[in-house]
């Protein structure tokens, strides 16, 4: 576990909301919230967007919110509609509640919470609209236990999307990032059409088309400790088709 960067004031006091979509993550959520709230970021809040998880994740989230009422909020969604829809709801709520910066991260502990202060500092010290915690820039790492087929799928997905969309990002499918609120408002969540994991690609594509600088910083990506991956065949098909839909829908979009 890395030591979080100690940011100077007023950077460390920034109003940062971390949006965490959940589906069957009851075993991971308490540890994630504990690590997030331990960060040296007094302005940090956590918003859990739960898709009516049958394993009781929603109830676990409510208990954590009751223990930390000023820092943890829960959005209960009616059912499993996909990662993209959960993020749209969660990010929209964070912006409405006054966040100046919005982070995205998985609930399975694959993304190191301790990297957030450094990512926030990188964002604040540049004019970038978003900073990505990247597996594929120099210094980035993948857990040695990450299965070979997942490595191959991730590498192929990045090459495939690079070829079709010409977005100059090494980790196009990354799910760990911090956005400026102004960049999110400029992109417009109403433009987003992805339901599944292709949400990440669509957001990067829209940000690029609108001229926002995207910064990548290295992280170590860990294998999940508990639970199962949510990657399904339907999700893979949507992700394969989405670049073609994005090119068609947003071909005239530019700054």
Q: How many Å separate Cα 52 from the centre of its chain?
A: 20
pTM: 0.89
Average pLDDT, the chain: 89
Quick: pLDDT tens for 56-91: 999 999 999 999 999 999 999 998 888 899 999 999
In order of their start, the domains of the chain are 12-249 (3.90.550.10)
The answer, yes or no, to whether residue 107 has pLDDT greater than 70, is: yes
Tokens of 174: 């990354």
d(CA 200, CA 219): 17
Of residues 250 and 111, more confidently modeled: 111
The candidate with the shortest Cα–Cα distance to 228, out of 52, 26, 20, 88, is 26
Q: What percent of the chain has pLDDT over 90?
A: 64
Alpha-carbon span 130 to 180, nearest angstrom: 6
Instruction: Identify the pLDDT of residue 251.
Output: 66
Task: Provide the b/e sequence for 198-221 (b: ≥16 CB within 10 Å).
Answer: bbbbbbbbbbbbbebebbbbbbbb
Distance separating alpha carbons of residues 54 and 178, to the nearest angstrom: 29
Q: How many CB atoms lie within 10 A of CB 57?
A: 24
Q: What is the dihedral of CA 198, 150, 161, 123, to 10 degrees?
A: 70
Q: How far is CA 212 from CA 21, 39, 182, 205, 249, in A?
A: 25, 28, 10, 10, 19
Q: What is the mean pLDDT of residues 13-40?
A: 97
C-alpha to C-alpha distance for 219 and 147, rounded to whole angstroms: 18
- Tell me: the pLDDT tens digits for 158-214? 777 777 777 888 898 899 999 999 999 999 999 888 887 788 989 998 999 999 999
Half-sphere exposure of 31 (CA within 13 A, CB side): 14
Assess contact for 115 and 194: CB atoms under 8 A.
Answer: no
Query: Hey, which of 43-47, 238-242, 244-248 has the most confident mean pLDDT?
Result: 43-47
Q: How confident is the model at residue 218 (pLDDT cuts 50, 70, 90)?
A: very high
User: Side-chain half-sphere of 70: how many Cα atoms within 13 Å?
Assistant: 5
Residue whose entry in the numeric block shows the structure tokens 């417009």: 188
Tracing tokens 């991956």 back to the chain, one arrives at 229
The answer to whether 214 touches 126, Cβ cutoff 8 Å, is no
Higher pLDDT, 29 or 227: 29
Distance CA 7, CA 210 (A): 30
State the Cα–Cα distance between residues 28 and 106, nearest whole angstrom: 10
Specify whether the CB–CB gap between 77 and 89 falls below 8 A.
yes
pLDDT above 70 covers what percent of the chain? 88
């Amino acid at each position: 576990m890395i030591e979080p960067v100690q940011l100077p004031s007023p950077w460390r006091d920034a109003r940062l909301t971390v949006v965490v979509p959940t589906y069957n993550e009851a075993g991971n959520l308490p540890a994630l919230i504990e690590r997030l709230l331990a960060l040296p970021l007094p302005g940090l809040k956590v918003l859990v967007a739960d898709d009516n998880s049958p394993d009781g994740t929603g109830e676990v989230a409510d208990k954590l919110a009751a223990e930390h009422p000023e820092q943890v909020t829960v959005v209960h969604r009616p059912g499993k509609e996909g990662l993209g829809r959960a993020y749209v709801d969660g990010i929209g709520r964070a912006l409405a509640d006054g966040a100046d910066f919005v982070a995205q991260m998985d609930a399975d502990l694959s993304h190191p919470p301790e990297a957030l202060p450094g990512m926030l500092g990188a964002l604040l010290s540049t004019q970038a609209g978003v900073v990505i915690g990247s597996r594929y820039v120099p210094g980035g790492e993948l857990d040695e236990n990450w299965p070979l087929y997942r490595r191959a799928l991730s590498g192929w997905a990045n090459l495939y999307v690079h070829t079709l969309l010409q977005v100059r990002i090494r980790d196009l499918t990354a799910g760990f990032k911090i956005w400026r609120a102004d960049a999110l408002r400029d992109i417009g969540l109403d433009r987003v059409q992805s339901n599944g994991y292709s949400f990440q690609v669509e957001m990067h594509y829209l940000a690029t088309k609108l001229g926002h600088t995207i910064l990548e910083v290295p992280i170590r990506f860990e294998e999940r400790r508990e639970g199962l991956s949510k990657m399904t065949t339907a999700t893979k098909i949507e992700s394969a088709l989405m670049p073609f839909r994005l090119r068609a829908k947003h071909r005239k979009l530019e700054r």
